[in-house]
Amino acid sequence: MIEIDSQIQSLNYDPKIHTQLEQEISRLMPYLDLNSKLHESENNLKSLNSNITISQKNILEKKSQNSDLYNQNSKIEKEITNFTNVDNLLISTSTKIDQSSQSKQNLISEIIILERDLTKNQSIQNEVLQLETSVKSIQNELEIYQELSAAFGRNGIQALLIEQAVPEIQNNANELIEKLSENKMQILLNLTGGRLDRQTGIPSEELEIKISDEMGIRNYETYSGGESFRIDFAIRIALSKLLASRSGAPLPILFIDEGFGSQDFRGQQTMIEAIQSIRNDFKKIIVITHVDSMKESFEEKIEVFKSPEGSTFQII
């Protein structure tokens, strides 16, 4: 070891210098890589220069060939110039042929469209003829329905039936009102023209009711409540008899609801007599009244009683 140390001392080794050298080496290392790339680039440059030389030679050869081709082209152009008129004629003719072909195609297209329109028009004409036939048929049916509507309307068969029934209603009503009024009142029924029908333009018929008594002929509205009740009763019974005669069988039930309170004693007795006179025209006659004197005039009675628990009835 002593010997090694003496050798190191003889070398004059300095650690600082050693460190500086290492740093310098580290700094110069990138330049070593650049030097390698520089040598490579120089080799590439030589290769490129060689390629450039070859390309220049090729360019000279191509120029020479191009000059020859140019001379040949000049000759050809001179020859083509002689055929310019023929080319123009060919171009003009070709253009006309193209135009004619286009015109022909347009005409064919128009013909196809016209044929389609013609077929469509024929179809439309057939539809129009069918619609005209249908309209005529509908018009005929409409006329028939209008006639039927008029016949079955208020001014048709109904009006005829009413017109024929009015005298019968009037006779039956007068037969009863004469009993109820002691031959002092008589009912007059007249059919008069009313409002115009919008469809037919024919005025409708209205039934006018007038009553004659000792004071003469007066409108129904001018009579008192008791008199009106007797008139209503007579007309309603007359209508019931008409329905019974038209149906061919007596009506099941006749309901008479109140109205007796407006009659004096003599009027009530007359009403009872009138009811008794028509009892054979109905299977049952049910009289509803609160007048005690009227209750006693009928053999069968149903009395209704009201109580806090509800209503009850008793057959007497």
Question: Where exactly are the structural domains of the chain?
Answer: 107-145, 157-315
Least confident of 45-49, 157-161, 261-265: 157-161
State residue 107's pLDDT score.
Answer: 85
Q: How many CA atoms lie within 13 A of 90 on its CB side?
A: 5
d(CA 79, CA 307): 140
**79-128 pLDDT per residue, tens:** 666 656 666 777 778 888 888 888 888 888 888 888 888 888 888 888 88
**256-313 pLDDT per residue, tens:** 876 666 777 777 787 788 888 777 777 788 888 887 777 777 778 888 888 888 888 8
- The pLDDT of 164-184, averaged and rounded, is 85
Please work out, in degrees rounded to the nearest 5, the angle formed at the alpha carbon of residue 97 by the alpha carbons of 91 and 103: 135
Helix (H, G, I), strand (E, B) or coil at 212: strand
State residue 203's pLDDT score.
Answer: 62
* pLDDT above 80 (res 222): yes
Instruction: For the chain, give the mean pLDDT.
Output: 77
* pLDDT above 70 (res 9): no
Mapping DSSP onto H, E and C, the string for 142-187 reads: HHHHHHHHHHHCCCCHHHHHHHHHHHHHHHHHHHHHHHHCCCCCEE
Q: What percent of the chain has pLDDT over 70?
A: 80
- The highest-level CATH class for domain 157-315 is alpha beta
- The pLDDT of 157-176, averaged and rounded, is 77
* Highest-confidence segment of 35-39, 51-55, 237-241: 237-241
pTM over 0.85: no
* pLDDT above 70 (res 154): no
